[in-house]
Amino acid sequence: MMTAVGTQEEPRLDARWASSWFQTCHRTIKKNRLVLDELDANQGDGDHGDNLCAGFEDTEKRLHELSGLSVEFGFYDVFSTVGMSLYANCGGISGPLYGSVFLAWAELFQPGTHESLDAPVVCELFYLATKNLKVRGRVSLGENTMLDAWWAAYQGALQVCIESGQGYAALQGGVHAVTELIEKTRPALNAGVYSTSLILQSALVAVTK
């Protein structure tokens, strides 16, 4: 797997960060639960916030247990824990959808390895998300679904990679692109697009800890 040593100022995106990212998600989603429900009510059954909240509550618990173990853990452990947890505990379609994305991420890493994410790997994670959502969600680009958000993140991260940026910068580029997408589509903001942006923002919040 690709590894890159970040510059001094550049925060390392390691497995501890990934674990902290998805624990942060629970708090972020909980804060926005009603907003997500309201957005979902325009297009679905209005329970996207509730579903994600239940899912990430379990995720946080499981990751907390994982971090407490004396053994080292890697990206494989974190992403497969997140995927399985959302799969089983997050209701509606979003549970299996997000679950399958994070399980696909886990497959990118060998169990027990402790590399940190460089820019191409960040791009690849976003790409895997779009690939998975197209097949699993049976949607195409431009249908105002969470696929559009992951696609924007992918393109944003690629742009950073073209400009020789590191992993953290690629992540920022991805988040920034999703924020722009949200500003553009705001009147018809899709709940899945918004939850994707909350999940990705949590990744940045977790870095500073």
Partner 1 sequence: MNQTSAILIVSHSHDLALGMSKILRSLNPDVRIEYCGGNNRGGLGTDPQAIASALQNLTSNVTECYVLADMGSARFCVQEILDARPRGGIGRINLLTGPFFESAIELVTKLKANNESGLGGIAETINLGSEKLGADKSQTITRNVYLPFSDGLHARPAAGLVQFFSQFDAEISLQGVDAKSILELLKLQILQPQQVELEISGTDADQVVSGLEEYLKQL
DSSP one-letter string for 119-136: HHHHHHHHHHHHHHHHHH
Is residue 88 a contact point for partner 1 (CB under 8 A)?
Answer: yes
Residue 6 per-residue DSSP state: P
Is residue 139 a contact point for partner 1 (CB under 8 A)?
Answer: no
**CA distance linking residue 72 with residue 7, whole number of Å:** 24
Among 67, 80, 144, 155, the residue binding partner 1 under the rule CB under 8 A is: 155
Is residue 95 a contact point for partner 1 (CB under 8 A)?
Answer: yes
Q: Using CB atoms within 10 A of its CB, is residue 3 exposed (0-12), middle (13-18) or buried (19+)?
A: exposed
Is residue 135 a contact point for partner 1 (CB under 8 A)?
Answer: yes
Among 18, 117, 133, 158, the residue binding partner 1 under the rule CB under 8 A is: 158
Nearer to partner 1, 20 or 167 (CB): 167
Nearer to partner 1, 101 or 202 (CB): 101
Is residue 41 a contact point for partner 1 (CB under 8 A)?
Answer: no
Q: How far is the CB of 71 from partner 1 (least distance, A)?
A: 26
- The contacts found for 88-92 with CB under 8 angstroms, 24 or more apart, are 88/58, 89/54, 89/55, 89/57, 89/58, 89/59, 90/51, 90/52, 90/54, 90/55, 90/56, 90/58, 91/47, 91/50, 91/51, 91/54, 91/55, 92/44, 92/45, 92/47, 92/48, 92/51
Among 119, 129, 133, 193, the residue binding partner 1 under the rule CB under 8 A is: 119
Is residue 123 a contact point for partner 1 (CB under 8 A)?
Answer: yes
State both tokens at 67: 């971090």
Nearer to partner 1, 4 or 205 (CB): 4
Binding residues for partner 1, rule: CB under 8 A, are 2, 87-88, 91-93, 95-97, 100, 108, 118-121, 123-124, 127, 134-136, 138, 154-155, 158-159, 161-162, 164
